[in-house]
């Protein structure tokens, strides 16, 4: 795929450049609680603006139902982008309507506009090729060139991600180029030992990547809610912990394959449990107890890995040369259940390995728990996209950028 450097080398002054970003940030009302994805696109937008391009930034936010919804407006993201750029950023209150057309028409060289949430138009996410293509054609009228830089959306076959690049000269932005380069280090010419840490709520979300990594990783560490399906598959009582009974056969198969292939599968040896899920709003003390992973009481729920598991996992990461981490070890949003996730993050920092934090809740946890993002090898902006890439899937947004 051609990169933004090739575009800049040819000159962009006066050209309308459509940047498909990922500004899908978490909001508390209109307050952005984590601006990581906005900061990630700044280098691309700034380079284009500094070169005299008329930059049109577009993104989705949340899951509106194909119609305008004030709760999912990109206005706060546009304001924050302007703050990070140190420049005025215009905001269009629609996607391809009069406001968007006027905002783009009024741009001078070096100026930036953000159009409203692309998912306010049903054509963005439509499964109908014609409807999606029609929306892409309307978007194409706003620009002369396309730059894909929304890595968090490249696994979606959406109009602005998949169809639009085919209607304009297209290039990969700095973020996508970086993300793809990092993922190649996890799939080709991997430095070993290669350790993978997987957490999060549901094992079903990780089945594909586990299947793929069993052929590539040397060590797989499991935590979070998905760990209890693995423990159940081993015949242990898991109480009222999060459990996907229907995935137990698949999990048993993975454990058997891992043993046959010599892949080390590491599960919790102790967990923090409670009869009640913690209050994430007030952060009231939860008073958990620690029990062995094979001795969870029938009326208790596992909510984080325990102290012995933290030590075990740190030891399993200490000699790794490559580490990929996706998914928290527990309910990290509450301080009483954050220590497991914190321990994994610290283990990555202490390791000499090339470390990749695979986006989503893992990236949010790193920031929320106060770690220096620059101390990690790479923090991805796309959890779902990263996982699908590691599964070996073809990502529509990347395929569309290929020549």
- Domain CATH for 307: 3.40.50.1260
Residues 71 and 194 in one domain: no
Residues 151 and 218 in one domain: no
- Would residue 403 count as lying in a domain? no
- Would residue 392 count as lying in a domain? no
- Would residue 398 count as lying in a domain? no
- Would residue 45 count as lying in a domain? yes
Residue 16 to residue 168: CA distance in whole angstroms? 11
Whole-prediction pTM: 0.88
Asked which of 175, 210, 227 is the last residue of a domain, the reply is 175
> By C-alpha distance, which of 165, 60, 164 is closest to 116?
60
Annotated binding-site ranges for substrate:
22-24, 37, 60-63, 119, 156
Residues 66 and 23 in one domain: yes
300-352 pLDDT, tens digit per residue, is 999 999 999 999 999 999 999 999 999 999 999 999 999 999 999 999 999 99
Between 39-43, 88-92, 144-148, 181-185, the lowest mean confidence (pLDDT) is in 181-185
| pLDDT over threshold 80, residue 360 | no
Q: How is 77-136 classified by DSSP, letter by letter?
A: HHHHHHHHHTS-EEE-SSSSSHHHHHHHHTPPTT-EEE---GGGSGGGT-S-HHHHHHHH
- Would residue 395 count as lying in a domain? no
162-189 pLDDT, tens digit per residue, is 999 999 999 999 999 999 999 998 988 8
Among 15, 16, 20, 37, the active-site one is 37
Residue 103 to residue 270: CA distance in whole angstroms? 57
- Would residue 386 count as lying in a domain? no
Residues 15 and 80 in one domain: yes
Residues 85 and 215 in one domain: no
Asked which of 119, 151, 175 is the last residue of a domain, the reply is 175
Residues 164 and 255 in one domain: no
- Would residue 113 count as lying in a domain? yes
Q: How confident is the model at residue 391, as a pLDDT?
A: 87
Annotated binding-site ranges for (2R)-3-phosphoglycerate:
37, 119, 156
185-218 pLDDT, tens digit per residue, is 898 889 999 999 999 988 888 888 999 999 999 9
Residues 335 and 224 in one domain: yes
Residues 76 and 36 in one domain: yes
Residues 108 and 208 in one domain: no
Per the structure, how many domains does the chain have?
Answer: 2
Among 202, 216, 252, 311, the active-site one is 202
**258 falls in which pLDDT band (50, 70, 90)?**
very high
> What is the extent of the structural domain holding 367?
182-380
Annotated binding-site ranges for ATP:
206, 302, 333, 359-362
Residue 184 known to be catalytic: no
Residues 157 and 202 in one domain: no
- Would residue 312 count as lying in a domain? yes
Residues 171 and 195 in one domain: no
Residue 392 to residue 52: CA distance in whole angstroms? 38
**392 falls in which pLDDT band (50, 70, 90)?**
confident
Residues 124 and 227 in one domain: no
Q: How confident is the model at residue 395, as a pLDDT?
A: 96
- Cβ-contact 20, 147 below 8 angstroms: yes
């Amino acid at each position: 795929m051609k990169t933004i450097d090739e575009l800049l080398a040819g000159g962009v002054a006066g050209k309308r450049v459509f940047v498909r970003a990922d500004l899908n940030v978490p909001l508390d009302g209109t307050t952005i609680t984590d601006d990581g994805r906005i900061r990630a696109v700044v280098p691309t937008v700034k380079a284009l603006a500094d070169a005299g391009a008329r930059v049109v930034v577009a993104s989705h936010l949340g899951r509106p139902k194909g119609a305008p919804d004030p709760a999912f407006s990109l206005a706060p993201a546009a304001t924050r982008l302007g703050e990070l750029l140190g420049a005025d950023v215009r905001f269009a209150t629609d996607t391809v309507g009069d406001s968007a057309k006027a905002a783009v028409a009024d741009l001078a060289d070096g100026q930036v506009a953000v159009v409203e949430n692309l998912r306010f138009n049903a054509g963005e996410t439509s499964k109908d090729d014609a409807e999606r293509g029609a929306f892409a054609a309307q978007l194409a009228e706003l620009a002369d060139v396309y730059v894909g830089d929304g890595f968090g959306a490249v696994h979606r076959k959406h109009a602005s991600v998949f169809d639009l690049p085919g209607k304009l000269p297209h290039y990969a932005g700095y973020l996508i180029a970086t993300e793809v380069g990092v993922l190649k280090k996890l799939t080709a010419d991997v430095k070993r030992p290669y350790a993978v840490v997987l957490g999060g709520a549901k094992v079903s979300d990780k089945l594909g990547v586990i299947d793929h990594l069993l052929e590539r990783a040397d060590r797989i560490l499991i935590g979070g809610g998905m760990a209890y399906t693995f423990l159940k598959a081993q015949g242990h009582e898991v109480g009222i912990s999060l459990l996907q009974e229907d995935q137990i056969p698949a999990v048993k198969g993975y454990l058997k394959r891992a043993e046959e292939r010599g892949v080390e599968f590491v599960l919790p040896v102790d967990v923090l449990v409670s009869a009640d899920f913690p209050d994430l709003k007030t952060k009231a003390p939860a008073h958990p107890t620690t029990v062995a992973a094979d001795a969870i009481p029938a009326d208790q729920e596992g909510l984080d890995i325990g102290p012995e598991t933290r030590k075990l996992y740190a030891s399993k990461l200490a000699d790794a040369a490559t580490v990929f981490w996706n998914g928290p070890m527990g309910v990290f949003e509450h301080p009483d259940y954050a220590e497991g996730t914190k321990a994994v993050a610290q283990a990555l920092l202490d390791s000499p390995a090339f470390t990749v934090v695979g986006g989503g809740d893992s990236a949010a946890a790193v920031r929320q728990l106060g770690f220096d993002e620059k101390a990690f090898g790479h923090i991805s902006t796309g959890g779902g996209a990263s996982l699908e890439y590691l599964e070996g899937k073809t990502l529509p947004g990347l395929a569309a950028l290929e020549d």
